[in-house]
Chains A and B, each alone.
Chain A
Amino acid sequence: MTQTSVKQSEATLAPLVGIIKSVRQLTATEKWLKIELEGGKELGHDPGQFVEVSMLGIGEAPISVSSSPTQKGYFELCVRKAGLVTSAIHGLKEGDKVGIRGPFGHGFPTEELKGKDLLFVAGGLGLAPLRSLINFVLYNRKDFGKISILLGCKEPAQLLYTDELEKWGKMSDIKFLCTVDKGAPDWKGNVGLITNLIPGIDIDINQTYCVVVGPPIMYKFVIVKLLEKKVPENQILVSLERRMKCGVGKCGHCQIQQYYCCQDGPVFSFDKIKNIEGAI
């Protein structure tokens, strides 16, 4: 298998061929896809970057890569069925081919995070991009300090990657807490908003980076809690969702004031976007 990775220039127009190695229905609306690039090419992404999944004849959808780059030979996506393109992606079966452009954007600053304590806060589908970083960090565990993972979602049936969550829950060198807005008969965990979990976390503000990914409403409340704990603004990282069409900072759909989310983001530190109305 060759180790050539995809160059941005190749990725701008014509999609590369991805082969679906396996598909799994994670929840009622989310599918997990394992994709190998034709010719054994590595995607060569950073945690937090995204690809344009191209269904020729239907269109493209920007999807975060949910696997760590330390996972070689293939990459993983978690796709929620939300529109035409994602519905078509949901129709893909093992052995089918799919167009892939990318990877695009700035992911999480892994070098900057080295040696730091990390607090991950994931809401719903926000776990998908965050998982690429979490698994990267767990793979390089000794390079990082204390690790806490807080996960929230609407109900237990919507939890993604439940096998992995179980593993994280059993690991002694990370703290993993999970909560759901509404419980279910067999749910033994926390019930309530994710913000309720934050006061119980011990944060050394001098060396903790908080990485928050979730729906816009979650950012508003979680970030307030983190700021109350005096976490510096530049140590709060978020990944923003926009309608990236081109992925190369041209088409304008993903623009957040002076930033193109597809190029300057999707990962931003909070200090960069705090004064931008409508950013989160």
Chain B
Amino acid sequence: MKYYRLKKGRLDELIDALNKKYKVIGPKAKENLFVYGEIENAKELSLLHKPTILSLKKYFLPQQEDLLNFKVGDVSGKIVEIEQGKPLLVLGAHTCDLAGLLCLDNACNDSSKDANYLKRKTGAVIIGIECSKPCDEHATCVTMGTHNPKGGYDIMLTESGDGYIVETASEDGEKLVNETKSAFEDSDKSAAETETTKLRTEKNSWPKKIFPEAKKLEALFDKTLKSAEWGKLGERCVSCGNCTNVCPTCYCYDVKDEVDLKLKDGVRYRIWDSCQLKEFAEVAGNENFRDKRKQRQQHRFLRKFSFPVKKYNRFFCTGCGRCTRACMAKINLYETINALAKETI
């Protein structure tokens, strides 16, 4: 691991150089919100963004992707290979979104691998930036421990004066700095470490929205399965699926077939699905194992705070706050957790 410095004034030079080799994506403003999109110059880049509408998930597990092409009447199809264009370079992902990618890494690298995700992830370079101030009242990153860098990046930027402290965390990161050397300056390792450590220690005392400690959350959910709070959520939830779409770690999908109007060619594709939709757990004969909204809301929370802890020893909540921001019924993640916690005191 090495340290460099990058002056803010050199960002354009860096982005220019990177665009020659990579498809550079980063956070940019869209009306009063932010999205990840292609970045051509520093002016477009909003490094001090609050979490984007959709997370980085959209690049590695796209909303919709073709799996098989077939001719009508065929029994087996041809697997659609992923187009390998320029490698992806993410510039300016916050640490909560890096945590989201680590969750997806776990899920897609399970006993059965998600080949498309892994192919997209291979060769992608991730440059993160840690927040130097809290983004808004909905984030719960401090409780989830995602407010500070915890891996999942090749390079981490930390704001410092008129520039950034640049930490390379992988060979890819080091290679990138060497390839675009003129944009960077050398830096003293111990001074950089002192500065980042100081900032990260300060960040630990940023306001916490969730009262219980993270280590108590799994037990909290397992203990409150019968709580009346779930009924309240169920009454408010409108089953729109916004929360799962914007969630950086939700990866459920549906598989559909479509045939063109000439009835000649067809495609089997997968598309983001949501456990919040009523049909999600339906089986033949109209049996539905989660036909109530409260069951589906509980399922969503357990898939973030209980099941993945048992399976991967990791929360699948990154504290980004997207589900709370996107909820039309104002279902709030930390208020729900705090209400459950109150019952167990």
Binding site for B on A (CB under 8 A): 8, 12-18, 54, 56-61, 80, 82-83, 86, 97-99, 215-216, 241-243, 245-246, 248-253, 255-258, 263, 277-279
Beyond the given pairs A56-B266, A251-B255, 15 more chain A to chain B contacts, judged by CB atoms under 8 angstroms and listed by A's residue number, are: A13-B68, A15-B77, A17-B75, A56-B70, A56-B72, A56-B77, A59-B255, A241-B283, A241-B284, A242-B289, A251-B270, A253-B281, A255-B275, A256-B289, A278-B289
Q: Are A86 and B252 in contact (CB under 8 A)?
A: no
Question: How many whole Å from B286's CB to the nearest CB in chain A?
Answer: 9
CB-nearest residue of chain B to A17: B75
Q: A15-B77, A216-B287, A256-B289 are in contact. Are A251 and B111 (CB under 8 A)?
A: no
B290: Cβ under 8 A from any A Cβ: yes
Question: How many whole Å from A55's CB to the nearest CB in chain B?
Answer: 8
Q: Are B112 and A12 in contact (CB under 8 A)?
A: yes
DSSP class of A's interface residues: helix, strand, loop or mixed? Answer: loop
B160: Cβ under 8 A from any A Cβ: no
A-B interface contact total, Cβ < 8 Å: 114
| Sample (30) of A-B pairs whose CB atoms are under 8 Å apart | A13-B68, A13-B79, A14-B78, A17-B75, A56-B68, A56-B70, A56-B75, A56-B257, A56-B268, A59-B256, A61-B284, A82-B285, A86-B284, A97-B75, A99-B75, A215-B285, A215-B287, A241-B287, A245-B254, A249-B110, A250-B112, A250-B252, A252-B251, A252-B275, A253-B252, A255-B303, A257-B307, A258-B311, A277-B225, A278-B290
DSSP class of B's interface residues: helix, strand, loop or mixed? Answer: mixed
B-side contacts of A59, CB under 8 Å: 255-257
CB-nearest residue of chain B to A8: B112
Could you tell me the distance between the alpha carbons of A251 and B110 in the complex, rounded to whole angstroms?
A: 13
Could you tell me the distance between the alpha carbons of A16 and B79 in the complex, rounded to whole angstroms?
A: 12
Interchain CB contact (< 8 A) of B306 among A97, A249, A256, A258: A258
CB-nearest residue of chain B to A11: B112
Question: By the criterion of a CB under 8 Å from any partner CB, how many residues of chain B are at the interface?
Answer: 48
B-side contacts of A246, CB under 8 Å: 253, 255
Could you tell me the distance between the alpha carbons of A246 and B112 in the complex, rounded to whole angstroms?
A: 11
CB-nearest residue of chain B to A80: B284
**Nearest 5 pairs of A and B residues by beta carbon:** A252-B252, A82-B284, A248-B112, A258-B307, A97-B75
Q: Are A242 and B307 in contact (CB under 8 A)?
A: no
Question: How many whole Å from A241's CB to the nearest CB in chain B?
Answer: 5
Could you tell me the distance between the alpha carbons of A73 and B67 in the complex, rounded to whole angstroms?
A: 30
Could you tell me the distance between the alpha carbons of A83 and B279 in the complex, rounded to whole angstroms?
A: 14
B48: Cβ under 8 A from any A Cβ: no
Q: A59-B257, A278-B295 are in contact. Are A250 and B251 (CB under 8 A)?
A: yes
A-side contacts of B40, CB under 8 Å: none
CB-nearest residue of chain B to A15: B76
Could you tell me the distance between the alpha carbons of A99 and B303 in the complex, rounded to whole angstroms?
A: 32
Q: Are A243 and B77 in contact (CB under 8 A)?
A: no
Question: How many whole Å from B63's CB to the nearest CB in chain A?
Answer: 14
Interchain CB contact (< 8 A) of A14 among B79, B112, B254: B79
